[in-house]
Chain A
């Protein structure tokens, strides 16, 4: 099989992939987008709540509206979109990447592309991954599954729900379940502080008198056919359940909102280096992975807090991929970016100083700090300082660095966050 040739192929038509495809097309590349679902838009299709697009459009849009803007642009630009199409195999060869795809029209077929953008998003952490074992009664769902069932399928998965984890999707589903007539007993968070945005605590929980219990987790799920109840335990400072604090909470549904994991399984055969801190590939500011011609963006790169930044990274990845495919790119010259102090992670993990220009850096703090200060330094010189009233792990921070500030002969750049 020898397939059609493209300059840039993008895997995943969510917000990152759409932005990447549009940017690559604008840069003059012949682009195709590969999507496994029947419609583009990714997870935004089911995120019917509003609050998207404040940074990028200055407007509070719902998820489908946000996606629609990019879908319209992609259509106008005549970008080829394969829907209902699954990537079976990915190979790196001399002529570029060979993608073996499958759909109902062409059965199994191949395409060849010079540059590839992986915009595959993330997955939800499941019950097994938070050590909820034992019987597998019906009624245990991830928050995203509940969201899909209600908002796309029109099914109410339960009537009496307990939510484990205070991530934003869990908070939003607490409100959604309540609006659709279910009773939400409470949201239980193992940590001492909520992991979702404060505004969601207000507008999703407080507005509907849904209690938030901090320092508490589910230690047992009762029921064999269907969930009948959960046992809730308080935890100590090491997040271990405290004996004697068990509370039996009857419910028919347990909703898990316990974190997201970047989805990069398809890249593993290529031997791409994954940053254990982010779960995504290590990239430079052009979103280039260690594999020539392969770019990563969006939630596959690291889990973002706002879709606006997902789109931004997609744009960077798409235009970089087009430049790689069409031009003779300069040989990259990388220096590592080292997180120090209370930084949980930084993306990009390295800088290509040969590319010059500006680099957008995203980072998260490892803990909540009031009056934090960030220092970016290289070669013993402080290049940039910034003060923050407060930094919280759920909120991503973004900072732009002018690479012209780097002193000659720099070997590494460090970001240091302190309280």
Chain B
């Protein structure tokens, strides 16, 4: 597997631009980059407990730099929180991991990005297979306008699940702590559930395809405190089997649920107000919140920024 310098340029939606030929490529390479030539091939790091790793990952939307040179390693069977003020690229980073940014015209990235040592961004990597192994839960609950049963079974069915579907649906709903509330109404529409139940249905749907990683993009921001607590308990249960990456605006939530925390910060805003996100600090959660190394992190967690 030869890592390619560009990330996220899927042929179906976005034009693939090589780092060398990109008009903005020199923005990233003019910085003091340890990789030197961005086109230089880098072997995947061999740290055994990292599931997802990036090296000098920069993301552009058309010509705007959204994220600059992010280097991070997401540990296995841990909950990693991405925190930071609005517009600092937390969701952008999250959406690189399952190539969701492919769906946004004009999005492209440079640098390196690996999942279990495999180059995520390579054109030989099939985003469909990748997304089955790296599930995602979104900010607003988005169940399909289908029955509760169909919502859970849908992903497994399209991915060719051959086993007992009833059993899989029940197991996934139990795993998402929703079974007892819905077992009598599996044929009802998923849209009839409350917001918190809908979000747990979306988690059950993600679990049903048996992924290895679950990406959560502010999963509780549309939920009330009781539902939020249930989802947080659920995450704690799930981390024995899954690697979880969660984007959150809520610092208390990051503190409660995560083992590792990455604090992203906007670089100094340009004249037109565009912000570029950089990684300020990546540490174990308790250390980041009690003894932050980076002054920007400290300013953010004490409420002076954001």
Q: Do A and B bind each other?
A: no
The chain B residues found within 8 Å of chain A, CB to CB, are: none
